[in-house]
Structure 1
Amino acid sequence: MSLPSHLLISILLFIGGIEKNPGPARICRTCKSELNSVQEYFDHHIVVHSTSCVPCLNGNCHYQASTRPALQTHLTRCPLKPNPNIAHANLLHDGSSTHSAPANLQMPGPSRPSTPANVPTPGPSRPSTPANVQMPGPSRTSITKKLLQPGPMPNPDPYPPRVVKDAVLQFYVELEGEHVLPSSTVQTISEKISKFSEMSHHSLKRTLVKELMSLGIENDSIASVVNKTFLSDPVFNMHHKQDVEQVSSIYLRKKLMKERLPYVSPVEVFLGRDESGKPKLGHRVSVKETLEILLRDPKVKAEILKSFDFEPSEDGVLRDFTDGSAFREHLKIHKKCIHLILFQDAFEHNPFGPSKGKYKTIGMYYVIGNFSPEFRSKVDKILLAFLLLERHLQTTESEHLNGCDKLKEVFESFINEMKTMQSEGLTVDGEKIPVCVLFIAGDNLGSHQIGSFVQSFTADYCCRFCPMNIKDFKKEPWTCLELRTPEQYDECVVRAHEKWTALKTKSLQQHQRKKELQAERGEKVSKTMVSKNALKKLRSTHHLGVKPISSAFNSLPHYHVCKDGLPSCLAHDLYQGCIDTALIKILQHFIEGKQWFNLETLNRRITTFECKCADADDAPTSISNFDGVKGHACETWTFVRLLPFMIEDLIQDKDDEYWKLYLLLKEVCEYVCAPQIKVQQVAHLDHLIQLYLCKVKEILPDSLTPKSHFLRHYPTLILRYGPLIRLFTMRFESKHVFFKKVAKMCHNYTNITLTQAEKYMYRFASDQVNGLIPPDVVCRNAGETVSANDLQQEIFHALPQPFDFSQVTSPKELEYKGTKFKENVFMILDRYDLVHLTVGCIERILLLSDMSVLLCLREYVALNSFKGYFFLDEEQRVTVRRIDSLPDHFPLPTYLHGGKQCLSLKHSLMFL
């Protein structure tokens, strides 16, 4: 039985990859290029504009698709108006076909609509492994039909050689920087591509010659056509040294990347030689060159220019470091300035085994303080300044006795560059803008090393903020001294140097006499200049905690380590300090002292507790013993917040002093971690910390550690630096992950800091393609458009009237300024009274055509249990709020506890 003619035509069109009704030409919304099909438009946007999501062709629609089928499906619901200026005949023959390369390497070529499920979908994506790399490109079938069809020529080539070359180069940059493949592996991939392209050319030439001969074309003309055709293949030419821009070797690829991409070459820093004569090297990345590249991005420039109009708040609310007294003092010197916040920390590659410590690396990073807090907290906004091995920062015996300032020697080139940028500035819109270092953040050990303070926290004077003796603190932990001043610091340096000089002279004389006696007795004479014990004492010499050599960073203009230069480390002081020591003893009291439950019960409840939403990313870990709370700072933070839901029913006496101490500690954490806080709340926090330290001295005196003393300074430090969470060091430490991955993937620790710096700069160059500043609203799947009939009556009546439903979609989730919002999570809306809250459950998200976001919320009263959490009480009305009008932007999940839906705050609220 013969098929109906219309069905037969449909099948043939489907097999040929030809659209039955191509409709109007597709106009790229970014560059206004005319594309002939959805496939061509999708590939053009991915390759030319290097985006992971492609916007709808309709200029009034904000939908973005990550795959071509999703875009085609959406366009059936969002049709385009025909363009009468485009000849319809040109649009009839434009299909696509699939080209698969060996070894799962997808070479340029979009897929047919009939691609089976096990074949990679068209359009490039960022693959998880280099064995599944996809790059778009027009199919041979499509091009052949366009060339042979009669009528006017098709639209301009959407893939000119320059675009193809840039795509090839971007592909190799991603292999080096994003997938962190060793250069040798990338070279193997390059050689395979070269071989496959040769095979492909051979097959295509044979077919082309055969077809041209069948048309009766002369042999000389055939040879000319074939040669010209295949010499125009940019991918082949780049891999076979037939182009000025070549990628056939490691050297040529690196050379081309540095010429064509925003790549800053790492600079080698010679740090002398070790005791065996081997050179000690570090590698830094020019901050000036990096900033100049960033300022080419209009969004980065706009963000920096916008910060120049900022004025510190006068309403008594601290929202960022710009509201602290330290920044207010800085404004008196520079009204317009590019602010840098530095961070330094050491990280280990091999925490176990014989190589432990050998390749431990110190990384110095920085963020641009002019960016909004939500941008500064993103890992890709944290930039590299310096990498060196930690052991290269240690002085040898002779260097120490000669008074060598190793810190100055290592960072001298970096400090000089910062001085130059502060005096000469960078050009922004024709104006010279100085670049200044505001703070140097880090963990306590690193901050003490940078500030030239004692690095032993068992010393009597181990606080960089004040010269208080730790013994005095343990007697009266609620007290603290006035903060150090630059003048006091400089005086301590002089006094410490006097002590060091006297001890050095004495040690040299004693050791010289000892060597003379050894020579007289015929014994083996020591080769050292002083004894090991004397050298240890010399290294630890200090006066009131300050070492004999002033910090090298004090030479920076308007910067001093004792003038707000070294902020506190919230993560290590609180979550890996006070909580780590106090909370474990509180739990030990419940288990061994009161015997309300055992360790197995506690661990079972921890492991079976189902954390939700963002809490699941940092779920607490089980406790193996009473040495401390395991896990990193964010996991401990989650554990403190959710502990009442895990064990409150096991606490038989709610008036137990240890349980009340935990609740007090939890409240302190909420205030300390607040992203915005009133000055009056800072005074209340000061009272809470004093009360907490008094209680600790009373029932847990062994938990009074130096970090407990650092906590005592927090109210004063908040007034100086603003909310301490804005300088949260754990975000910086996340940058270590990339460099650890480099060391693991490359399997080579020879000159490891150079390898890490180069891989980072490849990643930096790759990231710049999409820009450093993302839009405020990022929606991966905008969902379908909604109308009034799609909404519940309560939601419809809560909308502002009249409401325009044109191009309104309802996504299930989206990101706003880096925070993920989705349905069925709760937002803090207001206070119900002095102690209770009004919260709202997100029932629907509405994304408007101007990319503004409305949250449809069902309000509830959240009553304070005074047991560390709130529980939902009566249901209120449905309300609609603009997402940017919420008083707090941290979604909270609810947990079923005691038969009620409960939530635990992540931080205190400004209106409480």
Structure 2
Amino acid sequence: MSETYYFCPLCITANVFQTYSSLFKHIREYHRDDPSFGIRCELTVFCGFRYSTFDSYRRHIYRCHRSLIDSSDDSKNNISSGIDDIHFMEDFSSDASFNDESSIADNSDSSIYVDEEVDEMEYNFLNMNPITVPVKEDKLSLKEFAEFYTRVLLELREYHLLPQKIVQCISSFISTLLDMTFKLIKIKTSTSAFIPTNDLDIVFAQVISIINSISKNEYQFLKQCKNFFNYEAPTEIILNKNEERAYYIPLKQSIRTMLQNETLLKSITDNINSFSNYVAKDKDLILSNRQGCCIKSNMSRRENSNVLLLKLYTDGISVTNPIGAKRDFHKFTCFYYLLDDMPETMRSKVNSIGLFCMCYSKHLNDQNNAKILMDVLVNDLNNLQNEGITIACPSSRIYLVFSTVSADNLGANEVGGFQKTFSSGSFCRHCLITYEQRLIPLTDISFVPRTKLKHDMVLSQVIENNDDKIIQGVKCCSWFKNLVGFHPTESLPPDLMHDVAEGLCPLIITALLKEAIQQRILSYAQIEERTSSFNFGFNDLSNKPPPIKKQHLTNSNVIGTASQRLCLFKLLPIIFYDIIDELALFNLYTLLREIISYLYAGIMRKSWLPYLDALCKSFYSLMVELLPDHVTPKVHFLTEYCRSIEKHGLPILNSCMRFESKHQYFKQIVNRSLNFKNPLLTMSKRHQLRQCLLNKLASSRFSPSITVYSSRLIEFVKFSIPIQRLLKKYVNETDSISESLSIYYHDLKMKQKSVFVYDLIHTEEIPIFCQIHHLLKINEKWFAIAEKLHTKAFNEKLWAYEVEYTGTLEKIDIEHCLDLFPHCLDIYVVKETYYINLLVRLTKR
């Protein structure tokens, strides 16, 4: 085989190069700045364009001839050739024939998701014949190719309404496929300098066969997902009637696949060991759910030390079919799971939450259906706890221990077998208070907590009576009565999201603003104007609440998500800074605000609990005195949190907030697929397809990362003199320094002017803040150049820290900026004074 040589057309003397990569390097180093730069690409018969600048030539080479400058040798790609290719194509051809276009067009399963309904317009489009090129073979040219491809992209963008980024991603994939096809051709013809036409036909026929095969129907698509991505299909559960079904995903295989990621497993192990070390040094700390007495009891049953906690969550999703004669309302009950020992940066990701089961909510109203479904789920969970999981790690077997079930109050009462009404009887699953007793101040009485022994005695009486009569709030057996480690009085912690963010916060906001109107301090229009025109900081902007209008206050309903309501509650004193302390009910706000600062803390101390308990009882008693008509069950639930912390650990770790975010994914699936024949199958199947893709990308899914979308090189001398002095001891003037306006650290956006907690000082643990001035990359590591702020005082009226600028600069590693508080903060200006509003109480580990 003769060798191929390359000549430089820009040199006066003929320079010869054995590889194109060496020629390209020569052009880049010696000719890129030539004022008369001009080169014609003749690498293939399809090229021939002339480029007058090196940048335009370089873009063309990287776009069209990237394989020529790849450092890897073509021989490394030979692993996919030969016998493996033959076997691979035989596997494809054994299932179906791919070359008959008419069979694809007539196949009723030509859609990837055959169970999706579509509207009339899209139905007509999808039933069109496959896209073909209406040009005779001898007249086909690059113009027709460009026209056809433009049509494909146009249909993707404007008909199927795919975002531009998705279209660009598809284009990139197509380019990669074509590049792989070209390399396959090179491999097939590597033994000869000539390329027989027959070999080209074979290669392209195989490529087209593969493409048609994978997208032909649902069966072929799922088969390849199983082969290449370890797709695990949801398991169907037939309930009491044949048409009533549920779908669940066996936990053992799902969790095994997740834990096979070494980065994730190491992070979990390091997190457990780190917490153990901190608690050993300071026994007053509360860092994880492992410190709850009920969870300790569950873990004590397992002698093996390789134990991970498994948390469950259940809730309902409501979707509406908006089209056709089937316009109706659908409600599904979902069960999710989460590994409770994940580090906060991982457990906060929605993709870390797995799907366990989905069913129609109405089917669970039938006791037989509920029993069939729960028997399957409980058996799966018990097998997981008893047998453990074998994975390739230093310790070959890992055991899972059930921790708690998170749910809203209605869902928790249903799971636990308690009454599902909160307007009569013993409505609390934590104690024996009755609805009539809710107006008794806790200074005069304390309510008897529920215990395992008392609950089991009452439940026995309910079962013995067999008359559907509720006794002390107990209605029936729990769904998970046979689950190892579960008990209704110990495994259903309260939920901050529903109790506080969606319950008490809007209640107090409404009461305060109504008082302002009744006292003629503000009007409805002024309240709406202030809440709509308030300038929220960048870090609070994502949770900006909608304006409060007259109808909202009239109906005592502050609209918005849980995060938006909590944000409004946090900033209420700043929005209404000039009138807030004139309100008689402001003491209720300050009490609740202080309670929230403890409940939402990521680290707590046991010594805080007596004071927190006193705060909760004071708030309850003050509500009974000032707003007796607004003493709802959620006001009482607040008094149960101290006992819950002792049982279940940190309240923020048992919140439903992140689980609720998982619902949005399924709602998007239903809304986009418009499938209302069997939405359970579609949602569970699409979720599993997404999970198998994420598991394949697990290295980037769980690994710590700093993402930068844009940055610029900046010279050392361009910095101000104070920054030069600060950096001089760390860098040389010749070192490369990059600057970015913003970066993403574990999906949290950090940008210039944002504030973070730098230190806690004195016994009172007063926070010291820093404001970011620059985000710099020095020697491949990112740092923040930040100015320390002096904390002057805490303003109880605004419930914020008053700060002032000091001019003192610090160089801080990005990875340590968020050690004390994993969020960026904003500075608000009130009467020319700077304030930082911090929601939680902080303490050092």
Q: The TM-score by the shorter chain falls in which range? A: 0.7 to 0.9
Which residue does the alignment assign to 2:463? 497
User: How many Å separate the matches in 2 of 1:201 and 1:667?
Assistant: 80
Q: 1:849 to 1:369 in 2, by over 3 A?
A: farther
Q: 1:816 to 1:487 in 2, by over 3 A?
A: same
Q: 1:715 to 1:800 in 2, by over 3 A?
A: farther
User: How many Å separate the matches in 2 of 1:459 and 1:861?
Assistant: 49
Structure 2 residue aligned with 1:235, among 207, 220, 236?
Answer: 207
Secondary structure class of the residue paired with 1:388: strand
Which residue does the alignment assign to 1:616? 541
Which residue does the alignment assign to 1:704? 631
Is residue 410 from structure 1 mapped to residue 350 from structure 2 by the alignment? no
Which residue does the alignment assign to 2:811? 880
Which residue does the alignment assign to 2:405? 440
Which residue does the alignment assign to 1:226? 197
Question: How many angstroms does 1:705 deviate by?
Answer: 1.0
Question: How many angstroms does 1:546 deviate by?
Answer: 1.2
Secondary structure class of the residue paired with 1:459: coil
Query: Which structure 2 residues correspond to residues 319-334 of structure 1 after superposition, within 5 A?
Result: 319-334=287-302
Question: How many angstroms does 1:333 deviate by?
Answer: 3.0
User: How many Å separate the matches in 1 of 2:208 and 2:322?
Assistant: 47
User: How many Å separate the matches in 1 of 2:137 and 2:388?
Assistant: 53
Secondary structure class of the residue paired with 1:23: helix
Secondary structure class of the residue paired with 2:602: coil
Which residue does the alignment assign to 2:235? 267
Letter matched to residue 383 of structure 2: T
Q: Deviations over 1:714-747 (max 9, x none)?
A: 1222233332112221210111111111111112
| TM-score where L is the length of structure 1 | 0.71
Question: How many angstroms does 1:192 deviate by?
Answer: 8.3
Question: How many angstroms does 1:619 deviate by?
Answer: 0.8
Which residue does the alignment assign to 2:508? 582
Letter matched to residue 875 of structure 1: T
User: How many Å separate the matches in 1 of 2:608 and 2:78?
Assistant: 60
Question: How many angstroms does 1:803 deviate by?
Answer: 4.6
Question: How many angstroms does 1:874 deviate by?
Answer: 4.8
Greater alpha carbon shift after TM alignment, 315-324 vs 759-768: 315-324
Q: Deviations over 1:6-32 (max 9, x none)?
A: 99999xxxxxxx9996329xxxxxxxx
Contact kept, 8 Å, 1:324 with 1:721, in 2: the verdict is yes
Structure 1 residue aligned with 2:654, among 718, 723, 727?
Answer: 727
Q: Deviations over 1:458-478 (max 9, x none)?
A: 122011111222322321245
Which residue does the alignment assign to 1:306? 270
User: How many Å separate the matches in 2 of 1:96 and 1:583?
Assistant: 73
Secondary structure class of the residue paired with 2:238: strand
Which residue does the alignment assign to 2:473? 545
Q: 1:181 to 1:619 in 2, by over 3 A?
A: farther
Is residue 761 from structure 1 mapped to residue 729 from structure 2 by the alignment? no
User: How many Å separate the matches in 2 of 1:322 and 1:449?
Assistant: 26
Secondary structure class of the residue paired with 2:474: coil
Letter matched to residue 827 of structure 1: F
Contact kept, 8 Å, 2:742 with 2:750, in 1: the verdict is yes
Secondary structure class of the residue paired with 2:687: helix
Letter matched to residue 497 of structure 1: I
Which residue does the alignment assign to 1:534? none
Question: How many angstroms does 1:199 deviate by?
Answer: 8.4
Structure 2 residue aligned with 1:558, among 482, 485, 502?
Answer: 485
Which residue does the alignment assign to 2:495? 569
Contact kept, 8 Å, 1:855 with 1:880, in 2: the verdict is yes
Is residue 249 from structure 1 mapped to residue 217 from structure 2 by the alignment? yes
Letter matched to residue 318 of structure 2: E
User: How many Å separate the matches in 1 of 2:636 and 2:688?
Assistant: 40
Contact kept, 8 Å, 2:829 with 2:835, in 1: the verdict is yes
Q: 1:205 to 1:828 in 2, by over 3 A?
A: closer
User: How many Å separate the matches in 2 of 1:199 and 1:142?
Assistant: 31
RMSD of Structure 2 on Structure 1 (CA): 4.3
Query: Which structure 2 residues correspond to residues 289-304 of structure 1 after superposition, within 5 A?
Result: 289-304=253-268
Aligned residues: 719
Q: 1:555 to 1:862 in 2, by over 3 A?
A: farther
Contact kept, 8 Å, 1:613 with 1:893, in 2: the verdict is yes
Question: How many angstroms does 1:306 deviate by?
Answer: 3.4
Q: 1:864 to 1:93 in 2, by over 3 A?
A: farther
Which residue does the alignment assign to 1:425? 388
Structure 1 residue aligned with 2:600, among 673, 690, 697?
Answer: 673
Secondary structure class of the residue paired with 1:247: helix
Secondary structure class of the residue paired with 2:356: strand
Contact kept, 8 Å, 1:777 with 1:814, in 2: the verdict is no
User: How many Å separate the matches in 1 of 2:378 and 2:781?
Assistant: 43
Same amino acid, percent of matched pairs: 18
User: How many Å separate the matches in 1 of 2:46 and 2:842?
Assistant: 57
Is residue 349 from structure 1 mapped to residue 319 from structure 2 by the alignment? yes
Contact kept, 8 Å, 1:827 with 1:892, in 2: the verdict is yes
Question: How many angstroms does 1:684 deviate by?
Answer: 2.3
Question: How many angstroms does 1:796 deviate by?
Answer: 4.1
Q: Deviations over 1:448-501 (max 9, x none)?
A: 1111111111122011111222322321245543432222221111122233x2
Contact kept, 8 Å, 1:247 with 1:256, in 2: the verdict is no
Is residue 813 from structure 1 mapped to residue 759 from structure 2 by the alignment? no
Question: How many angstroms does 1:263 deviate by?
Answer: 1.0
User: How many Å separate the matches in 2 of 1:730 and 1:848?
Assistant: 37
User: How many Å separate the matches in 2 of 1:910 and 1:96?
Assistant: 69
User: How many Å separate the matches in 2 of 1:643 and 1:96?
Assistant: 69
Q: 1:291 to 1:679 in 2, by over 3 A?
A: same
Is residue 449 from structure 1 mapped to residue 419 from structure 2 by the alignment? no
Question: How many angstroms does 1:864 deviate by?
Answer: 1.3
Which residue does the alignment assign to 1:367? 338
Letter matched to residue 415 of structure 1: V
Contact kept, 8 Å, 1:836 with 1:862, in 2: the verdict is no
User: How many Å separate the matches in 1 of 2:585 and 2:344?
Assistant: 36
Is residue 863 from structure 1 mapped to residue 793 from structure 2 by the alignment? yes
Greater alpha carbon shift after TM alignment, 554-563 vs 193-202: 193-202
Structure 1 residue aligned with 2:640, among 700, 713, 728?
Answer: 713
Which residue does the alignment assign to 2:153? none
Which residue does the alignment assign to 1:340? 310
Is residue 23 from structure 1 mapped to residue 21 from structure 2 by the alignment? no
Contact kept, 8 Å, 1:844 with 1:855, in 2: the verdict is yes
Query: Which structure 2 residues correspond to residues 644-655 of structure 1 after superposition, within 5 A?
Result: 644-651=573-580, 654=581
User: How many Å separate the matches in 2 of 1:122 and 1:347?
Assistant: 50
Q: 1:371 to 1:721 in 2, by over 3 A?
A: same
Q: 1:446 to 1:187 in 2, by over 3 A?
A: farther
User: How many Å separate the matches in 2 of 1:382 and 1:187?
Assistant: 38
Secondary structure class of the residue paired with 2:489: helix
Contact kept, 8 Å, 2:755 with 2:771, in 1: the verdict is yes
Q: Deviations over 1:555-582 (max 9, x none)?
A: 122222222x111110110121122333
Question: How many angstroms does 1:785 deviate by?
Answer: 4.9
User: How many Å separate the matches in 2 of 1:863 and 1:363?
Assistant: 47
Q: Deviations over 1:239-290 (max 9, x none)?
A: 355xxxx4323322222222221211011111112xxxx6211111121111
In structure 2, runs of 5+ residues without a counterpart are 1-7, 13-19, 33-40, 48-53, 93-110, 145-191
Query: Which structure 2 residues correspond to residues 122-161 of structure 1 after superposition, within 5 A?
Result: 139=64, 156-157=76-77
Q: Deviations over 1:883-908 (max 9, x none)?
A: 44442232101122222222211222
Which residue does the alignment assign to 1:685? 612
Structure 2 residue aligned with 1:900, among 833, 840, 843?
Answer: 833
Query: Which structure 2 residues correspond to residues 366-385 of structure 1 after superposition, within 5 A?
Result: 366-385=337-356
| TM-score where L is the length of structure 2 | 0.76
Contact kept, 8 Å, 2:290 with 2:296, in 1: the verdict is yes
Question: How many angstroms does 1:183 deviate by?
Answer: 14
User: How many Å separate the matches in 1 of 2:347 and 2:297?
Assistant: 22
Is residue 632 from structure 1 mapped to residue 564 from structure 2 by the alignment? no
Letter matched to residue 452 of structure 1: G
Q: 1:392 to 1:224 in 2, by over 3 A?
A: same
User: How many Å separate the matches in 2 of 1:862 and 1:94?
Assistant: 70
Letter matched to residue 580 of structure 1: P
Q: Deviations over 1:529-577 (max 9, x none)?
A: xxxxxxxxx3xx32111123x21313122222222x1111101101211
Which residue does the alignment assign to 2:105? none
Secondary structure class of the residue paired with 1:838: strand
